[in-house]
């Protein structure tokens, strides 16, 4: 039981799962994430000092951050997220007040379900409330992304933080990452359920590999921009890219091919969802995974094994890795009446082939940022 006595606000932000549109957010593409009912909750109260005092429900550490010199905390292990949030909040010209924060994060760490975005969004919203401001979810998402760039060293896109802040129960967000225009699409999966399976593989290379992929897409964009009238890589249509195949270095072409094809798949997947065509939706999930494996090279043995085991199961319409890759989770579209048997079979095969024990979660799509006074 968490002792929240004396705290003034309770703020929650969500983890997320991306249905489709992977590794396209930082290329200006559209993505289709959902906020999960797995949350990070922050309990907050002002303390009248120049310090942010941090405590966690599941860690022994207690850390105090001096709000007059936040730059010194870039290398901290856990508290760098809160320090980064405080830093960007201050840099954006907001008032940062000393406060006590108790952090209760139920989004599993390192799972690719965006625990860091949930921590960042809830923390910045806490700073806003303590400063007497009404939290603005879109501004908070953008600041949270900045904190991730500056303090966590991940040159991420906007998808995770936006989903964590702006998600809506039972809806997926069709988010245009070029304009931040967002359309809430009701998630209707007919007789199918969405199941998340965690590889439980520690993904240590994710930061460096992620940043490397992002640079490769930037190279693709700068080379193609000389030849076409485009504002971002996602503006390139698949048939146009093929015309330039020989003028791009082979590896850059493969990365770009994933991006432009994936953008097309997002469009088709939304259509399939709106037509209630789950078989088609599932097939697009599968194509997305294959492209992430073959052209983008961000899956690895464990994610491939989980995806293949799912594809081989007769009750599965489709499955793919979700998030940055190199470990983390798959998302699976499975006939509702076979979910339990599916989980058992897929997890048993995964353990046999990789030695890791997988964890399953049923997807419950929740709201993004929410808060109230205590
Ligand atoms: C991570 C990043 C996102 C996005 C995904 C891949 O989750 O934080 O911005 O790029 O990877 O789609």
**pLDDT tens sequence across 129-158:** 999 999 999 999 999 999 999 999 999 999
- Regarding the beta carbon of 324 and ligand 1, being less than 6 Å apart is answered yes
Residue pair 27/232 in contact (Cβ under 8 Å)? The answer is yes
Q: How confident is the model at residue 9, as a pLDDT?
A: 98
Q: Kindly tell me if the per-residue pLDDT of 205 is higher than 80.
A: no
Residue 86 has a pLDDT of 98
Are the C-beta atoms of 121 and 161 separated by less than 8 Å?
yes
pLDDT band at 363 (very low <50, low <70, confident <90, very high): confident
Half-sphere exposure of 82 (CA within 13 A, CB side): 29
In order of their start, the domains of the chain are: 9-184+366-373 (3.30.230.10), 187-361 (3.30.70.890)
* pLDDT band at residue 207 under the 50/70/90 scheme: confident
pLDDT of residue 241 exceeding 90 = yes
pLDDT for residue 122: 98
Q: Across residues 52-61, what is the average pLDDT?
A: 94
Q: Residue whose CA is closest, atom 1 of ligand 1?
A: 324
Query: If you measure from the C-alpha of residue 214 to the centroid of ligand 1, how many angstroms do you get, rounded to a whole number?
Result: 10
Site to substitute for ligand 1 among 14, 20, 22, 25, most atoms within 8 A of C-beta? 25
What share of the chain in percent tops pLDDT 70? 99
Q: What is the pLDDT of residue 176?
A: 98
Assess whether pLDDT exceeds 90 at residue 82. yes
Ligand 1 touching residue 25 (CB < 6 A): yes
Asked whether 160 lines ligand 1 (CB < 6 A), one says yes
Q: What is the pLDDT of residue 187?
A: 96
Q: Which of 4, 26, 5 is nearest to 215 (CA)?
A: 26
Taking residues 106-118, report their average pLDDT: 93
The pLDDT-based confidence of 104 (bands split at 50, 70, 90) is very high
The rounded Cα 370 to chain-centroid distance in angstroms is 18
Q: Is the pLDDT of residue 203 over 80?
A: no
Q: How far apart are CA 341 and CA 347, in angstroms?
A: 10
| CA 34 to ligand 1 centroid distance, Å | 13
Give pLDDT, residue 2: 83
The mean pLDDT of 270-296, rounded to a whole number, is 97
Coil, helix or strand at residue 4: coil
Nearest to 177 by CA among 224, 232, 225, 140: 232
- pLDDT, residue 128, reads 98
Ligand 1 lined by 304 (C-beta under 6 Å): no
Report the pLDDT averaged over residues 293-322.
98
For the CA of 324, the nearest atom of ligand 1: 11
- The rounded Å distance from CA 157 to ligand 1 centre is 6
For the chain, the farthest-separated pair of C-alpha atoms sits apart, in whole angstroms, at 65
The predicted pLDDT at position 278 comes to 97
pLDDT number for residue 54: 97
Per annotation, catalytic residue among 25, 100, 104, 160 = 160
Q: With cut-offs at 50, 70 and 90, classify the pLDDT of residue 1.
A: confident
Q: Are 369 and 137 in contact (CB under 8 A)?
A: yes
pLDDT tops 80 at residue 185: yes
Percentage of the chain modeled with pLDDT above 90: 94
pLDDT band at 194 (very low <50, low <70, confident <90, very high): very high
Ligand 1 in reach of 104 Cβ (< 6 A)? no
Whether the CB of 156 sits within 6 Å of ligand 1:
yes
> Residue 110's pLDDT is what?
84
Q: What is the pLDDT of residue 85?
A: 98
User: For residue 117, which atom of ligand 1 is closest to its CA?
Assistant: 8
Of 299, 323, 326, 331, the residue with max ligand 1 atoms within 8 A of its CB, to mutate for a pocket test, comes to 323
Task: Label residue 121 by pLDDT band (50, 70, 90).
Answer: very high
Query: How much is the pLDDT for 78?
Result: 87
What pLDDT does 222 receive? Answer: 97
Told to judge if 160 belongs to the known catalytic residues of this protein, a careful annotator would answer yes
CA of 369 to the centre of ligand 1 (A): 19
The predicted model gives 12-35 an average pLDDT of: 98
| Nearest CA-CA partner of 365 in 181, 190, 188 | 188
CB of 23 shorter than 6 A to ligand 1: yes
23 pLDDT band, cuts 50/70/90, is very high
Cβ(157) – ligand 1 distance below 6 Å: yes
**For a pocket test of ligand 1, which of 23, 178, 330 has the largest count of ligand atoms closer than 8 A to its C-beta?**
23
Report DSSP letters for 270-301, one per residue: HHHHHTT-HHHHHHHHHHHHHHHHHTS----H
Rg of the Cα atoms in the chain: 21
Q: Is 310 in the pocket of ligand 1 (CB under 6 A)?
A: no
Q: At what angle do helices 278-294 and 301-311 cross, to 10 degrees?
A: 150
Band of the pLDDT at 35, cuts 50, 70, 90?
very high
A 10 A CB-CB count for 169 gives 15
Ligand 1 pocket: which of 16, 120, 159, 258 to mutate (most atoms <8 Å of CB)? 159
Q: Is the CB of 325 under 6 A from ligand 1?
A: no
How many other CB atoms are found less than 10 A from the CB of residue 355?
9
Average pLDDT, the chain: 96
């Amino acid at each position: 039981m968490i002792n929240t006595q004396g705290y003034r606000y309770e703020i929650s932000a969500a983890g997320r799962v991306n249905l489709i549109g992977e590794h396209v957010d930082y290329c200006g593409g559209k993505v289709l994430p959902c906020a999960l009912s797995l949350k990070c909750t922050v309990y907050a109260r002002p303390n009248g000092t120049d310090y942010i005092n941090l405590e966690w429900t599941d860690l022994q550490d207690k850390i105090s951050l001096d709000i007059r010199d936040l730059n010194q905390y870039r290398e901290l292990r856990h508290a760098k997220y809160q320090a980064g949030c405080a830093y960007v909040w201050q840099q954006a010209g907001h008032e940062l007040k000393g406060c006590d924060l108790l952090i209760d994060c139920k989004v599993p760490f390192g799972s690719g379900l965006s625990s860091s975005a949930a921590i960042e969004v809830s923390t910045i919203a806490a700073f806003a409330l303590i400063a007497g401001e009404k939290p603005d979810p879109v501004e908070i998402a953008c600041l949270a992304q900045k904190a991730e760039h500056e303090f966590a060293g991940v040159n991420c896109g906007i998808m995770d933080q936006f989903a964590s802040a702006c998600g809506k129960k039972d809806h997926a967000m069709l988010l245009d990452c070029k304009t931040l225009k967002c359309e809430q699409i009701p998630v209707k999966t007919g007789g199918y359920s969405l199941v998340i399976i965690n590889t439980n593989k520690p993904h240590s290379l994710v930061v460096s590999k992620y940043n490397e992929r992002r640079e490769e897409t930037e190279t693709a964009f700068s080379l193609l921009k000389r030849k076409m009238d485009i504002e971002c890589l996602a503006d390139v249509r698949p048939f146009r890219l093929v015309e330039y195949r020989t003028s791009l270095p082979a590896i850059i072409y493969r990365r770009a091919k994933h991006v432009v094809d994936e953008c097309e798949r997002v469009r088709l997947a939304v259509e399939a969802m709106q037509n209630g065509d789950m078989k088609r939706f599932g097939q697009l999930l599968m194509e997305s995974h294959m492209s992430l494996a073959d052209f983008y090279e961000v899956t690895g043995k464990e994610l491939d094994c989980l995806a293949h085991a799912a594809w081989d199961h007769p009750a599965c319409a489709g499955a793919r890795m979700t998030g940055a890759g190199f470990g983390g989770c798959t998302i699976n579209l499975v006939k509702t009446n076979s979910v339990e048997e599916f989980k058992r079979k897929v997890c048993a095969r995964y353990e046999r082939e990789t030695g890791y024990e997988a964890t399953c979660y049923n997807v419950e799509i929740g709201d993004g940022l929410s808060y109230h006074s205590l």
